[in-house]
Amino acid sequence: MTDIIIDSEEVRVQLGRQSISFPRIPLPPAFLEWQATARQHMFERMTEAGAQAIRRQPAHLPVLATFGQGPFPANLATRGMGLLPAPAYLEEFTRRFEAVLSEAEGRPWSESLPERVRVVKEFYDDVTHFDSWLLGGLEIFEGRTAENLQRNPLASLLYTGEPPAYPSYQFDGVVQFVEAGDPHFRFLLAARELFARDAFHIHQIRYPYGYLFHLAAVRDKTPYPRRDHGAGVEDRE
């Protein structure tokens, strides 16, 4: 595994003999709002029509590019990668999610849906709950993505949302592994477990570790009506 040093201002990575550093940058406010709104719509739908009504959730499922060897070094995989609580809320929301999960235990899963939706909705209800410097996800399969990240923690994410706006963002960054015992891993696991047995998830029994994605660059890829000839992204309205 490569060495990563993260402080409040920058991320430094030792890649073999090469040392690379990036100033950390925050997630765009429009991205945070889109993520919150997409989740709110999902929870409303679940409340109205049950968890089986959830067919798609593109806001939560970006494509993660990692880099290996050979003529086609990019490896692409769809990944659940989402928002994490700001440090002041991390412990609180983790505990609240875990409390709802333990109350749900031993009862019919669908019976606990209202409480599960309520607690997660409270997290997404307020953008000040979010850590605007981080995204997080869980590893399941320990395939090429995991192998690449162990050698090279530099990665890119592409998020694409639904019409008519099609919000779309590329984030370049550095992936840090987190394991059981880490407060972020605990939150990621509790958040996943809240809906683990619902129809829109394939139930998994083990997550060997999680990922924290520290941002180094943001590129807004949202399409817009191009009205002239010759100009580039500056056309954006």
Interface residue list for ligand FMN (CB under 6 A): 61, 75, 77-80, 137-141, 143-145
CB of 107 to ligand FMN, least distance (A): 26
Question: Judged by CB, which is closer to ligand FMN: 2, or 75?
Answer: 75
CB of 95 to ligand FMN, least distance (A): 23
Question: Judged by CB, which is closer to ligand FMN: 6, or 61?
Answer: 61
CB of 143 to ligand FMN, least distance (A): 2
The CA distance from 136 to 161, in Å, is 18
Residue 197 is classified by DSSP as T
Count of positions (residues) in the chain: 237
The maximal CA–CA distance of the chain, rounded, in angstroms, is 63
Question: Judged by CB, which is closer to ligand FMN: 70, or 232?
Answer: 70
Question: Judged by CB, which is closer to ligand FMN: 22, or 185?
Answer: 185
CB of 202 to ligand FMN, least distance (A): 8
CB of 128 to ligand FMN, least distance (A): 26
Q: How far is the CA of 202 from the CAs of 79, 140, 194, in angstroms?
A: 13, 11, 13
Q: How far is the CA of 68 from the CAs of 142, 149, 152, 207, 214, in angstroms?
A: 15, 8, 8, 23, 20
Question: Judged by CB, which is closer to ligand FMN: 22, or 159?
Answer: 159
**Which residues have CB under 8 Å from 154's CB, separation 6+?**
13, 15, 20, 67, 172, 173, 174, 175
SS3 call for 227? coil
- The residue with its CB nearest to ligand FMN is 143
